[in-house]
Chains A and B, each alone.
Chain A
């Protein structure tokens, strides 16, 4: 029985890997289509019907391109950079509860790979290691633009991790658990955390944009100032890994936001329907992915709407606005919980 469960976990891990890669692949296509829609263009429409084979064509192009490692670069670190970026981006999916449970042949199977009792901190640990991918890659390129880009990325990510962590502390105060599964289970019905923690959600959302290096915080790869930022010297599939890691990060952070603030796989009124538990689990997972896709669309919407921040504005927003606001949020949440216990 033990071995059977282990086999299932490995199989499920493989499925999550494939789904993550597939979603990230089509996120690149969706990004171009959304951009085209917002700029009144058609977007990619040559490869396959509606250009649906475009990500495949891009992937093949990336693989076929010549791999160039600059002669003045540190070879080992140059290869290590994109590998770390990709690995940490994929590892975060391990703790996310993708759905409830379903029973098959007398056994229950959970649609979550590992229910760590410190799940949310694990996400943070992976995000903080992810910085190394960008920093090492940028430094190993031995190019001043790449170095500037990687230094920008590192300081930006460290600055926004602080406000992000503190917005999470308020959420943990309200839910009383670090496990992502518990946090989702508490949000049944309309008890979504976004309603009880609106300020924390706003801070977390802004920080998620900064952590994934998405516009309007995409200063590490700011084309007008730094050519390509930290991946100036990269080409072929190594560049592909960096670009792909960004889309995986976007998918995973949308999943984390949906889990923490929008009830994860919980959906109001769903449990009142006369359906079997297995079907409810399946519907829950579908709704979870629907929430994720809406959030991914929001990420793209912001990218094609807002102009990029200036670097000093970015730092000022992080340290003098978001950090004090998140401290205020913690105090407010604590005070509210104290009052609620008193009454």
Chain B
């Protein structure tokens, strides 16, 4: 178990680093897919099978395919990558460093936090997840689905605007 954890962590971290460092957008996307699969493996180690499969279906199977789709259609390559100025690079470095500091500070105190509920090995299974979602958190769950619908309607409207103007 421990060996699996370290192996998956290594794969996740290496592929995440490769997402940032690789030159071509396609290889970035593929490394991100590998990273997501490694994280799904972590969920399985925690006995959260539902979460793992949803991670694969939603992130790896849907969102990343759309990323790849857009990159293929626009034919983004290293050659036509826009060159960024020095100012952008420095400001990005400072912003990223600050975010890293905040994360580090928040994780420093993480060991002192006591869990509100005792650990339950069945917490990630689809049955217990459904019970929690549809009993304790029904209202937030429904509201978030309304949010998704409004986002979808907005996206359709934005996509349709051009054709309406022409006609």
- Check A128/B72 contact, CB under 8 A, given A117-B49, A122-B53: no
- Give the docked Cα–Cα distance between A136 and B30 (Å): 9
Is A131 within 8 A of B65, CB to CB?
yes
For A135, what are the chain B residues with a Cβ–Cβ distance below 8 Å? 65, 68-69, 72
Is A151 within 8 A of B69, CB to CB?
yes
Is A117 within 8 A of B69, CB to CB?
no
B56 beta carbon closer than 8 Å to chain A: yes
- Give the docked Cα–Cα distance between A74 and B73 (Å): 17
Per a CB cutoff under 8 Å, which of A116, A127, A147, A161 touches B72? A147
For the complex, would chain B's binding face be called helix, strand, loop or mixed by DSSP majority?
Answer: helix
A331 beta carbon closer than 8 Å to chain B: no
Is A118 within 8 A of B60, CB to CB?
no
- Check A155/B72 contact, CB under 8 A, given A117-B126, A129-B61: no
- Check A158/B54 contact, CB under 8 A, given A129-B60, A147-B72: no
Is A125 within 8 A of B26, CB to CB?
no
For B126, what are the chain A residues with a Cβ–Cβ distance below 8 Å? 117-118, 178
Interface size for A (C-beta < 8 A) is 25
The chain B residue sitting closest to A126, CB to CB, is B56
- Check A128/B57 contact, CB under 8 A, given A77-B26, A118-B126: yes
For B147, what are the chain A residues with a Cβ–Cβ distance below 8 Å? none
B19 beta carbon closer than 8 Å to chain A: no
B33 beta carbon closer than 8 Å to chain A: yes
The chain B residue sitting closest to A178, CB to CB, is B126
Is A150 within 8 A of B72, CB to CB?
yes
- Give the docked Cα–Cα distance between A121 and B60 (Å): 14
Per a CB cutoff under 8 Å, which of A118, A131, A151 touches B61? A131
- Check A121/B53 contact, CB under 8 A, given A77-B26, A131-B61, A178-B126: yes
Instruction: Digitize A69-84: 1 where CB-to-B-CB distance is under 8 Å, 0 elsewhere.
Output: 0000010010000000
A209 beta carbon closer than 8 Å to chain B: no
A124 beta carbon closer than 8 Å to chain B: yes
Is B56 within 8 A of A129, CB to CB?
yes
Is B62 within 8 A of A158, CB to CB?
yes
Instruction: Digitize B71-95: 1 where CB-to-A-CB distance is under 8 Å, 0 elsewhere.
Output: 0110000000000000000000000
Is B57 within 8 A of A155, CB to CB?
no
Which of B53, B68, B125 has most chain A Cβ within 10 Å?
B53
Instruction: Digitize B30-71: 1 where CB-to-A-CB distance is under 8 Å, 0 elsewhere.
Output: 100100000000000000011001101100111001101100
For A147, what are the chain B residues with a Cβ–Cβ distance below 8 Å? 72
The chain B residue sitting closest to A179, CB to CB, is B126
Is B53 within 8 A of A128, CB to CB?
no
A262 beta carbon closer than 8 Å to chain B: no
For B50, what are the chain A residues with a Cβ–Cβ distance below 8 Å? 118, 121
Is B72 within 8 A of A124, CB to CB?
no
Per a CB cutoff under 8 Å, which of B49, B57, B73, B127 touches A124? B57
Per a CB cutoff under 8 Å, which of A77, A124, A158 touches B65? A158
In the complex, chain A residues 105-161 whose Cβ is within 8 Å of any chain B Cβ: 116-118, 121-122, 124-125, 127-129, 131-132, 135-136, 139, 147, 150-151, 154-155, 158, 161
The 15 sampled A-B contact pairs (Cβ below 8 Å) are A77-B30, A116-B49, A117-B49, A121-B50, A121-B57, A125-B53, A128-B61, A128-B65, A129-B56, A131-B65, A136-B68, A139-B26, A139-B72, A151-B72, A154-B65
Q: Which 8 A-B pairs have the closest CB atoms?
A: A128-B61, A125-B56, A121-B53, A118-B49, A125-B53, A125-B57, A118-B53, A139-B72
Q: Could you list which residues of chain B lie within 8 angstroms of chain A, going by C-beta atoms?
A: 26, 30, 33, 49-50, 53-54, 56-57, 60-62, 65-66, 68-69, 72-73, 125-127
Q: Could you list which residues of chain A lie within 8 angstroms of chain B, going by C-beta atoms?
A: 74, 77, 116-118, 121-122, 124-125, 127-129, 131-132, 135-136, 139, 147, 150-151, 154-155, 158, 161, 178
